[in-house]
Structure 1
């Protein structure tokens, strides 16, 4: 008989223990009166509390943490707290970040009596917010009954990991201390990726291998859902084994080992720094992994391959051409595909491959630096790539860094984190706090390096104080081009609504509490290449300890050259008649 057969734990401890078993080390959030009793049980369960400045930012931070550790937890109060966090949870849902959102609610008797409690709408419907969350989460657990609560918690957490999307736990304040059996905690949750029916899997593997072997001009296109789908190693192995020309989409930058000779860079149609369309437009096979084909991610869908030549590998399905879809789980399928791949049957190298550009060639072709020259978007991201090291996590905020980051040359074992479809302004600064925390907990020695525009920084700047409060290690490069340059070039070049306040960014650490000397802070103003080279070459700057805040001045209307045409096109589309 199990040693815990007759033992019990309170429900809050049960939830927190399960989270710790899944690898969560810290819980983000903002306290509220409906959550306070539960928060008392965090530390005894082995978890740390990270108090953010507001619930939206806490949700963003949990999103970043989840993208590194594979799961995260967010704890907010009923109504005002959970609705503030909803924007972040929606982004996690759209971009497959597994966040467990725990909401502390009023006691159960308030639901039964339809009481007019605070944070409600005053109409007696206390379930309205949980109903909203059904649209933004893959599982919900209303923990109102002691007998069913543990099973509901376990089922929701399993779905969170398996689907790599947010889930919602509704924890009434009077359920926090209710005792439930401890024995289920001895059984690991079932989070193993499902397998396929062997006959169906083998048949489809044969069909896809036939397509590969008979192709004349194939290529591999890698997008960002490869990571949450759990097939990063398999896709890298496939690219290495086939030697096919391999490209990323913006969201998929950093998935493929950038040192592979057949990896050429990020594909953005004719609007990227590199134009691969002479090859991709005449290809006869596109192998598309982990796609999230939004307009932004594919540069107005200009990088999306033709359906008739595409095999799309998704989490739960594999689509061949325009009309055939097979419901199979990708992890198992990829292992079988790799095991059956016969490299002697692969097509001979197409002559067009020799003329394909690559991001590495682009970097080596850069002219020598003029030390006193201003920094420009076209070469900043290429040149700063030499600063990156293996195990670093590079984060790009929405706006010019999102586009510029396509030109990063990443060492092996680095990770690039950006946005594909949600693109919420201000998302990535709090996310960087979560990422830096996750890296610290993993203890693998990598640095967190974040690039953000000045407009985005102003949206969520207060989370700089959370980075300082918890003494996290992070680089923050503010790409300061005096406002919303993207929007200026789409519409309103000189319009007031595209301006932002003229902040003194380098004074922010002092405002946010970095004053006692116990935490290393460096701030730097950078206007020229000479300024930038000086700080990048400094050993104390390179060591990754503490906060390194760099204000990089760029021209107000500067974007990468080819992307300017994309913004002009976007403006024309906005003005087009329906």
Structure 2
């Protein structure tokens, strides 16, 4: 392609080439002309209710599709979204944030424009970009037609390679500027830089030697496994070695939980306890670690470095040694060697928990008994099926999801670092849209459902995004846990304090309020309330819930201080440590 192309079209076509099918955002006078190019570039436009929600939705979309994009206006719009972008940065979601800014001449002359601080200083127009430097891995301001294509290519590449947000400013007078289209003839190069094959062979041999000479081994899978593109190789490694495997809370859902050597979440309380086994291991392979306090049971499950092989995005650590190598290529070498020269069959590990046995051993419930979280999360596992995308909001839902027993090829989206409540409803909109965009592919997620578990307090943070779900006619199942406020905060401090209360909403009337036509056969809406196990069983058995289309919303009535045992015990442990 040699013809000229506008900067805006070049940007959106590159994003589409990278795997994007939709752009989220909110219109504003500095980005309107930019938005004119979204649909003609072959992308879907999703207008959200506000920029914060748009950022959350873009993050959810990116976690399923591999890349997301949000467009906001300068100043007020981008600052409204910055919390969501910071969360994407913390939790490694590949988001491209595009900001429409004032004309270059107005910026250079320090014109006192709306959405700025109106101080008449040219530097004012860089203030918001400087803020974004802290929460993005690459930034570009498109002010020169000669470098625009290279700048766009760079930020998209960094977004995908580093799996973190990037930031692009497009001044109004640059949107229609024409640049050569020739770079579009070349596919973006996303491959890691060529490494030292001798060094890679050396590291591979060291890893294989450790595998063969160790007697007690363990694989710990964390969130970076998916973010660094290592999920498939890690699954193969678990199968090839037979080593006992677990995930962190943040890593749950990344690997196949039906494998016989998978043992759930590595924790220190409740049914997840097997720290004594892990502490006795002489080899731990820790893949993609994110050692936050909530992801490691307040650092109690961080592996001992002297016995750990830590696999990061572009480095591998063993003891006091670090190699800058490609983990993808190293794991490929390891797997190829194991295929030719398998390890001896691993011994069984009867002392480690078996999730499926725990699930099968649950006693039957009394249909008239009230719903309680002690076994609720385990029992919900039977509702899931292959291909489902399951989202759990920060709080009792996210902690409860540690008890899920997931089928193959399911994806769990939770938060292990940022924990911004309200994220999940908007993220569900993005995830459901991404799932729709996979419908023509052979991706297993294309055949599943999008299922959200959300607390009543969290729902109130971003409730208006239910209207976007309805307007886009997305297929979503929402379980709202109505426990009259912020239960996790009550468990931490202030069980009776009014600051942990929330307003009492009629949640099941929300679909109608937010625009759903309750009798529309093209987008059916089903709502229900469950207070007892019998009522929940009846709801889950309905065709609308098992495989129907449309919006399904179930309000689960639970006691104000109810939580699963894991959360309660973990918080008690944390409080005792603080008191020491």
- Could you report, residue by residue, the CA deviation over 1:8-57 in whole angstroms, capped at 9, with x for unpaired residues? 11111111111111111110000000010111111111111100000000
* Residue among 280, 299, 302 paired with 1:301: 299
Residue 164 of structure 1: CA displacement?
0.8
CA distance in 1, matches of 2:208, 2:227: 25
Partner of 1:332: 329
Partner of 1:385: 381
Partner of 2:8: 12
Partner of 2:571: 567
Residue 571 of structure 1: CA displacement?
3.8
CA distance in 1, matches of 2:194, 2:65: 23
CA distance in 2, matches of 1:528, 1:344: 55
Aligned residues: 569
* Residue among 360, 363, 367 paired with 2:359: 363
TM-score normalised by structure 1 residue count: 0.96
- Could you report, residue by residue, the CA deviation over 1:86-145 in whole angstroms, capped at 9, with x for unpaired residues? 000011111110001000000000111011111111232110001111111111111011
Partner of 1:150: 149
Pairwise CA RMSD = 1.5
Checking the alignment, whether the CA contact within 8 Å between 1:432 and 1:448 is kept in structure 2 is: yes
- Could you report, residue by residue, the CA deviation over 1:417-468 in whole angstroms, capped at 9, with x for unpaired residues? 1111011011111000000000001102221011111111111111011000
Partner of 2:209: 210
Partner of 1:460: 462
- The answer for unaligned runs of 5 or more in structure 2 is 440-445
- Is 1:484 the counterpart of 2:474? The answer is no
Partner of 2:545: 541
Checking the alignment, whether the CA contact within 8 Å between 2:400 and 2:567 is kept in structure 1 is: no
- Is 1:201 the counterpart of 2:200? The answer is yes
CA distance in 1, matches of 2:47, 2:342: 56
Checking the alignment, whether the CA contact within 8 Å between 1:57 and 1:463 is kept in structure 2 is: yes
Structure 1 SS opposite 2:204: helix
Partner of 2:76: 80
Structure 1 SS opposite 2:125: coil
CA distance in 1, matches of 2:472, 2:234: 36
Cα pair distance change 1:44/1:288, threshold 3 Å: same
Partner of 2:265: 266
CA distance in 2, matches of 1:184, 1:246: 44
Residue 273 of structure 1: CA displacement?
2.8
Partner of 1:520: 524
Partner of 1:557: 561
Partner of 1:247: 246
CA distance in 1, matches of 2:334, 2:4: 46
Structure 2 SS opposite 1:23: coil
- The answer for unaligned runs of 5 or more in structure 1 is none
Residues 339-348 or 391-400, more deviating: 339-348
Residues 333-342 or 420-429, more deviating: 333-342
Structure 2 SS opposite 1:524: strand
CA distance in 1, matches of 2:138, 2:372: 46
Checking the alignment, whether the CA contact within 8 Å between 2:393 and 2:414 is kept in structure 1 is: yes
CA distance in 2, matches of 1:98, 1:561: 34
Residues 342-351 or 454-463, more deviating: 342-351
Checking the alignment, whether the CA contact within 8 Å between 1:486 and 1:567 is kept in structure 2 is: no
CA distance in 1, matches of 2:213, 2:255: 25
Partner of 2:442: none
CA distance in 2, matches of 1:194, 1:502: 55
CA distance in 1, matches of 2:204, 2:36: 52
* Residue among 32, 37, 44 paired with 2:40: 44
Cα pair distance change 1:177/1:473, threshold 3 Å: same
Cα pair distance change 1:307/1:343, threshold 3 Å: farther
Residue 483 of structure 1: CA displacement?
1.1
Partner of 1:104: 100
CA distance in 1, matches of 2:552, 2:271: 29
Checking the alignment, whether the CA contact within 8 Å between 1:377 and 1:404 is kept in structure 2 is: yes
CA distance in 2, matches of 1:376, 1:273: 17
Structure 2 SS opposite 1:50: strand
Residue 540 of structure 1: CA displacement?
2.4
Partner of 1:499: 501
- Could you report, residue by residue, the CA deviation over 1:287-308 in whole angstroms, capped at 9, with x for unpaired residues? 1111111101111112211111
TM-score normalised by structure 2 residue count: 0.96
Residue 281 of structure 1: CA displacement?
2.0
Checking the alignment, whether the CA contact within 8 Å between 1:489 and 1:568 is kept in structure 2 is: no
Partner of 2:418: 422
Residue 344 of structure 1: CA displacement?
6.1
Partner of 2:443: none
- Could you report, residue by residue, the CA deviation over 1:379-433 in whole angstroms, capped at 9, with x for unpaired residues? 1111111111111111111111111111111111111111110110111110000
Checking the alignment, whether the CA contact within 8 Å between 2:267 and 2:275 is kept in structure 1 is: no
Residue 347 of structure 1: CA displacement?
5.9
Residue 367 of structure 1: CA displacement?
0.4
Partner of 2:279: 281
CA distance in 1, matches of 2:195, 2:536: 52
Checking the alignment, whether the CA contact within 8 Å between 1:216 and 1:347 is kept in structure 2 is: no
Checking the alignment, whether the CA contact within 8 Å between 1:490 and 1:570 is kept in structure 2 is: no
Partner of 2:135: 136
CA distance in 1, matches of 2:505, 2:518: 23
CA distance in 1, matches of 2:504, 2:518: 27
Aligned structure 1 segments of 4 or more residues deviating by more than 3 angstroms:
342-351, 569-574
CA distance in 1, matches of 2:557, 2:194: 52
Residues 499-508 or 557-566, more deviating: 557-566
Checking the alignment, whether the CA contact within 8 Å between 1:491 and 1:571 is kept in structure 2 is: no
